[in-house]
Chain A
């Protein structure tokens, strides 16, 4: 388990003149919960999409689960799970049907699908809603379901893009319980968030500013390094210098 889950060296993505991700380098250990922080527009999602094999990098090098992001994207996809910022399960399929579909295309057997379906519904306490269309569920439940589906095939790494956006604190707490459980099962977690309390839950965090990674360490060390009380202060300190923003 000592191998690196993600190795990233000078990874860059350029759209015309705009450098969305500017030579980022970092490594993520297997089994780690790695927080990927940054203001809106800092380039988090673009970086994550490159690592997931959804987007071609412009330059640099990176391997995910031991596979190259330039030419082994389909092999990477076999080994990762991904939960995008936008809810992307099928709203007009029921909970069980979504589980069956995504499990099915990852190659789970019929027996595994049945077991997984039951297990998931029980863990998420969705027994009564199992046959309901996903579109009818409240957001918090949808997000927990999307996460569970993203790791249904026991991937080596799961990428979560702002998984708890717009979700209430109690549900967020429950969501992090799910993340810890996945990490206990040996899944490496790569997560972006805007909530600094969540950043504290990570083993290590990186903070992106204007396409670069300006800080990378454990939350404790970062607070020490910036002589700050909370992660919030660390974030302010770094993000204040940003030139890009939403507007």
Chain B
């Protein structure tokens, strides 16, 4: 235990003297949390619509106004040439083309039936598909307006429609900040903890001080624990700072218990640092450790359900996703912060993290060789 005291004292002195490490630990995560949630927004807005109008009637005017007033679209162009509109799509000035045929108004009133043509640029898949879905909604809406005005009530009675009322639980306004901030907080704790730990032991290898450590009677677990405790504290500190930013900048107050949240983060940090130290024990220099850690971090982050739901992944990807500690952490963050899940609800994830923590750390201690 006395050995551990000296190790910790040394480790803390070195961390606070490392001018390169301090901003990485304390400033970078804050900037990320302040900038990323603003950018990572899946709301599709500002869809550029090019309207090709061959009719030029009062109705087309009303339709165009309605589209413009919906708040999601910008009328990029209004013309009667499809070619011109396509040209705009090719130059990425428009995302969707709405073509209104000739005699639109006449056919709609006389024959009760008229088709319009909608073409979406699918290069940006999300904008294309969600944009055309929105536009369809606007058209449906327009459709029922027309019906109300022109179609005879007795004839309308023959058609029954089902109306839908929505309710979004746990995030009533579908505010993406609420959804993304807890996940990004999870992400940055992961980035800081993982990289800093991965670079640490290997740094001692690179400058040669590890030889001097290995020739002392120090125990392997003491050495690993001496490396882990400081970074664990830094992780918890960053997490706290992140919660404060979430509270005061984004107004997000965890619905669930803060104690449960910290309990989970504590175990998660041990698992994550175990991963970092493991990478460190396998690498022979910092560059190598950085690339290996980066490779795994990318997989962890992209497959964690942070940006795309795990449920949408193919079966094999789900398996990989569940084999990363980050996935369960992101899930639990959202559950506790947004939904107010209790410990009973997250028990499964909690035990999975304990398994990660035990396996990764035992592996790191085993793989750290004082005698090679």
Contacts and interface: CB of A to CB of B under 8 A. Distances in A.
A56 B371 CA distance: 7
A52 B211 CA distance: 11
A106 B17 CA distance: 25
B217 interface: yes
Interface in B206-236: 207-209, 211-218
A84 B208 contact: yes
B372 A54 contact: yes
A45 to B, nearest CB: 11
A88 B17 CA distance: 18
B83 to A, nearest CB: 68
B158 to A, nearest CB: 85
Contacts of A80: 215
Contact of A90 (B2, B3, B14, B370): B14
Interface string A161-202: 000000000000000000000000000000000000000000
B10 A97 contact: yes
Contact of A101 (B9, B208, B215, B217): B9
A80 B214 CA distance: 12
A78 B217 CA distance: 5
The interface size bin for chain A is 20 to 34
Q: Is the interface of B mostly helix, strand, loop or mixed?
A: helix
A107 to B, nearest CB: 7
Given A93-B14, A101-B10, A105-B218, A54 B211 contact: yes
B10 A93 contact: yes
A106 B372 CA distance: 22
B6 interface: yes
A73 interface: yes
Most buried by B among A86, A88, A93, A102: A88
A109 to B, nearest CB: 9
A92 to B, nearest CB: 5
Contacts of B213: 105
Interface residues of B, number: 25
A90 B211 CA distance: 12
Contacts of B247: none
A88 B207 contact: yes
Contacts of A129: none
Contacts of A97: 10, 13
Given A92-B14, A92-B18, A84 B211 contact: yes
A101 B10 CA distance: 7
B338 to A, nearest CB: 43
A100 B3 CA distance: 11
B207 A52 contact: no
A104 B5 contact: yes
Contacts of B2: 104, 107
Interface string B338-372: 00000000000000000000000000000000111
Contacts of B212: 82, 84, 88-89, 102
B215 A90 contact: no
B3 A104 contact: yes
Most buried by B among A73, A82, A105: A105
Given A78-B217, A105-B216, A86 B14 contact: no
Given A54-B211, A86-B211, A92-B18, 17 more contacts: A53-B371, A54-B370, A56-B372, A74-B217, A74-B370, A77-B216, A82-B215, A87-B208, A88-B211, A89-B212, A90-B10, A91-B207, A92-B13, A97-B10, A104-B5, A105-B217, A107-B3
27 contacts: A52-B215, A53-B215, A53-B370, A54-B215, A56-B371, A77-B215, A77-B217, A80-B215, A82-B215, A84-B208, A84-B212, A88-B207, A88-B208, A89-B212, A90-B14, A92-B17, A93-B10, A93-B14, A97-B13, A100-B9, A101-B9, A104-B3, A105-B6, A105-B7, A105-B217, A106-B216, A106-B217
